[in-house]
Copies of this chain bind each other. A is one copy, B any other.
Amino acid sequence: MSYQLYYWTGIQGRGEFVRLCLEDAGAAYTDVARIEGDDVMTPFLEGEHAGALPFAPPFLVSGRLVIAQVANILHYLAPRHDLVPDSESTRIYAHQLELTITDLVAEAHDVHHPVAGSLYYEDQREEAKKRAKDFRESRIPKFLDYFEKAVERGGGRYPLRSHSYVDLSLFQIMAGLEYAFPKAMKKQKLPLLRDLAKRVADRPNIAAYLTSERRVPFNTNGIFRHYPELDG
């Protein structure tokens, strides 16, 4: 089984959460737009394909299935690649954690685009400074303290007591926030989350991926953006 992932080229963005899952699993996949260009996604978004209608990238094609929304994609992939425990209650909890990561990612995006995603950052910089202050002082601690507590409840090493796709997404939000808000992140303790992120980075498939050309560097077109004026 080989998958086709469709996501904007040039950024990690939301597609990266899917890539990390596929890479950790050692799954065969094609990152289609990186080969054929972003236009390859248009027929899907315009409803010219059978199956589900995606609202936006990323979406994954698996056989006849078209699956959009990151947490939905991961909820589909994880059981097929031993990246979530078997029990229903644990899968529901894993999905809940992933959906909370989704919320944090949306907020991290809106820090630099508080007025409109369709406008340039430069046209909403003053509003962004205000939103960034709240994000740094209130939202980052609230979300990350929550995930720290979730790891603690899981025994201190994993929120689900053993390795899962949620670990990979937690690694990605830690990496993204460290890139975008290095000063604000220095003020956070988070010993368990930091240790988990390090262990994820050291997993053989992930370590190989992170040093490959497939890992696009963070940049100021993505969701996590480093603008010094937003880091306090």
Q: Report chain B residues within 8 Å CB of A92.
A: 52, 65, 67, 72, 76
Q: Is the interface of A mostly helix, strand, loop or mixed?
A: helix
A144 CA / B55 CA spacing, docked (Å): 11
A54 CA / B100 CA spacing, docked (Å): 9
Contact of A53 among B67, B106, B149 (CB under 8 A): B149
The closest CB in chain B to the CB of A99 belongs to B69
Judge if A13 is at the interface, Cβ distance under 8 Å. no
Q: Report chain B residues within 8 Å CB of A150.
A: 53
Interface-side segment among A19-27, A113-121, A166-174, A200-208: A113-121
Contact flag A96-B68 (CB < 8 Å), given A53-B146, A149-B53: yes
A106 CA / B114 CA spacing, docked (Å): 13
Task: Give the number of chain A interface residues (Cβ < 8 Å).
Answer: 43
Interface-side segment among A30-38, A126-134, A187-195, A210-218: A126-134
The closest CB in chain B to the CB of A129 belongs to B115
Q: Report chain B residues within 8 Å CB of A52.
A: 89, 92-93, 96
Q: Report chain B residues within 8 Å CB of A143.
A: 55
A193 CA / B83 CA spacing, docked (Å): 38
Residue among A93, A118, A149, A153 with the highest chain B CB neighbour number at 10 A: A93
Judge if A125 is at the interface, Cβ distance under 8 Å. no
Q: Report chain B residues within 8 Å CB of A117.
A: 134
Taking a contact as CB atoms under 8 Å apart, the answer to whether A96 and B72 are in contact is: yes
Taking a contact as CB atoms under 8 Å apart, the answer to whether A115 and B116 are in contact is: no
Q: Report chain B residues within 8 Å CB of A64.
A: 89
Judge if A95 is at the interface, Cβ distance under 8 Å. yes
Q: Can you list 7 A-B contacts with CB-CB less than 8 angstroms, sorted by A residue number? A: A52-B96, A53-B153, A68-B100, A106-B106, A110-B114, A114-B131, A115-B134
Contacts A51-B93, A69-B100 known; 4 new A-B pairs at CB < 8 A: A65-B92, A115-B134, A116-B134, A116-B138
